[in-house]
């Protein structure tokens, strides 16, 4: 599989840490030290999971030499749905008039983008799809509860998208060498570690410590496993793109893997935790930085729990 094009959208409203100083007494330094966040991106009142996804895809389409009419599969990824019936994937299909195409929207919490790529891999394997559009979009702000002292200040909003083809389309494509996901609903606090119950209070994080421990463990393990399975060594990694939940988790994962901090790509300082869109937005923001033969590892951990990784080669 090959990534042909990538793009993202971040809303223009920036909420600085001092918002939470006024609201909860959390100082800028207290938040930054514990999360790496200085500000977070918030969707405007007229924006939502769908509109951000459409903005990201519009930006992707504008950068292409031709249109996206050959897309035959649309996979949306979000745990913060605007509409679970007229879903993210269907909204993008409708807006860009992409047909015939299969369309489905998925969630595996913050791992969802990697799960979406694995689903694309399956459609490619059956031959039912040759070109897929994957969109990850999160409107955390619409579900986050200011009452949750553990998580309210962490969340950002944003969207990213990639065009993936079964065969190489141009020399600039980045190859997806491998993708892997694991469901981890059976470990630790599992299904109750982070919750988003739309009918009962929105996003809460009752077990932050359990998430921290398991995120470090499984993000490092997923990265190591996918590298070694594909006969590379950890030293071969040029860039690590971890799920942007918390800079301390990212630092810890890099340390476990023995990777220098300069290899870790992060945007959490400026965007907050943009959920399953976070690694996709990071990849998009750094796309021009990657040079020929670069080996890039994306590794994620999500509430629920779940984990996954993707190995890319420029």
Name the site residues for a second copy (rule: CB under 8 A). Answer: 50, 74, 79-87, 89-94, 97-109, 112, 115, 118-119, 121-123, 125-126, 128, 142-143, 181-186, 190-199, 203, 302-306
Question: In which residue are the tokens 């999160």 written?
Answer: 138
Least Å from the CB of residue 263 to a second copy: 28
Least Å from the CB of residue 269 to a second copy: 24
- Backbone Cα Rg of the chain: 18
Least Å from the CB of residue 290 to a second copy: 26
Nearest alpha carbon to residue 190 among 170, 218, 169:
218
Query: 170-187: string of b/e by CB count within 10 Å (b at 16+)?
Result: eeebbebbbbbbbbbeee
Q: Let me know the angle formed at the C-alpha of 183 by 181 and 186, rounded to the nearest 5 degrees.
A: 155
DSSP states of 11-51: -SEEEETHHHHHHH---HHHHHHHH--SEEEE--TT--HHH
Where does residue 210 fall: left (phi above 0), alpha (psi -120 to 50 degrees), or beta otherwise?
alpha
Nearer to a second copy, 101 or 227 (CB): 101
Nearer to a second copy, 186 or 231 (CB): 186
Least Å from the CB of residue 157 to a second copy: 13
**Spatial CB neighbours of 180, under 8 Å, sequence gap ≥ 6:** 114, 118, 222, 225, 226, 229, 308, 309, 310
Q: How far is CA 163 from the centre of its chain?
A: 15
Nearer to a second copy, 184 or 237 (CB): 184
Least Å from the CB of residue 161 to a second copy: 15
Using an 8 Å Cβ cutoff, are 144 and 43 in contact?
A: no
Using an 8 Å Cβ cutoff, are 240 and 223 in contact?
A: yes
Nearer to a second copy, 121 or 173 (CB): 121
Least Å from the CB of residue 110 to a second copy: 8
Least Å from the CB of residue 178 to a second copy: 11
Task: Determine how many CB atoms are found less than 10 A away from the CB of residue 166.
Answer: 17
Nearer to a second copy, 118 or 254 (CB): 118
Nearer to a second copy, 61 or 195 (CB): 195
Nearer to a second copy, 44 or 125 (CB): 125
Nearer to a second copy, 221 or 257 (CB): 221
Q: Let me know the angle formed at the C-alpha of 9 by 264 and 310, rounded to the nearest 5 degrees.
A: 40
239 token code pair: 């860039």
Nearer to a second copy, 111 or 266 (CB): 111
Least Å from the CB of residue 163 to a second copy: 16
Distance CA 32, CA 45 (A): 26
Least Å from the CB of residue 245 to a second copy: 12
């Amino acid at each position: 599989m090959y990534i042909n094009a990538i793009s993202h959208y971040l809303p223009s409203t920036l909420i600085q840490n001092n918002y939470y100083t006024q609201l909860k007494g959390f100082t800028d330094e207290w938040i930054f030290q514990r999360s790496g966040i200085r500000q977070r991106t918030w969707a405007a009142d007229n924006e939502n999971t769908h509109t951000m996804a459409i903005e990201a895809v519009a930006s992707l389409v504008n950068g292409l030499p031709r249109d996206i009419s050959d897309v035959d599969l649309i996979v949306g990824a979000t745990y913060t749905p605007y509409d679970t019936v007229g879903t993210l994937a269907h909204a993008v299909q409708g807006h860009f008039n992409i047909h015939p195409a299969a369309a489905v929207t998925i969630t595996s919490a913050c791992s969802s983008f990697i799960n979406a790529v694995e689903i694309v891999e399956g459609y490619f394997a059956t031959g039912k799809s040759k070109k897929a559009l994957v969109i990850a979009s999160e409107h955390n702000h619409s579900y986050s509860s200011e009452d949750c002292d553990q998580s309210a200040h962490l969340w950002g909003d944003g969207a990213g998208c990639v065009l993936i083809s079964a065969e190489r389309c141009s020399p600039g494509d980045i190859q997806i060498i491998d993708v892997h996901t694991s469901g981890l609903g059976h470990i630790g606090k599992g299904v109750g570690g982070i919750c988003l119950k739309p009918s009962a209070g929105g996003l809460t994080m009752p077990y932050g410590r359990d998430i921290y421990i398991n995120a470090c463990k499984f993000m490092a393990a997923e990265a190591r496993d996918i590298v070694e399975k594909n006969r590379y060594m950890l030293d071969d990694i040029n860039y690590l793109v971890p799920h942007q939940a918390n800079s301390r988790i990212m630092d810890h994962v890099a340390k476990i893997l023995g990777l220098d901090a300069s290899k870790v790509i992060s945007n959490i300082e400026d965007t907050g935790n943009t959920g399953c869109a976070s690694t996709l937005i990071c990849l998009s923001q750094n796309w021009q930085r990657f040079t020929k033969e670069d080996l890039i590892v994306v590794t994620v951990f999500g509430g629920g729990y779940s984990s996954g990784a993707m190995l890319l080669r420029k």
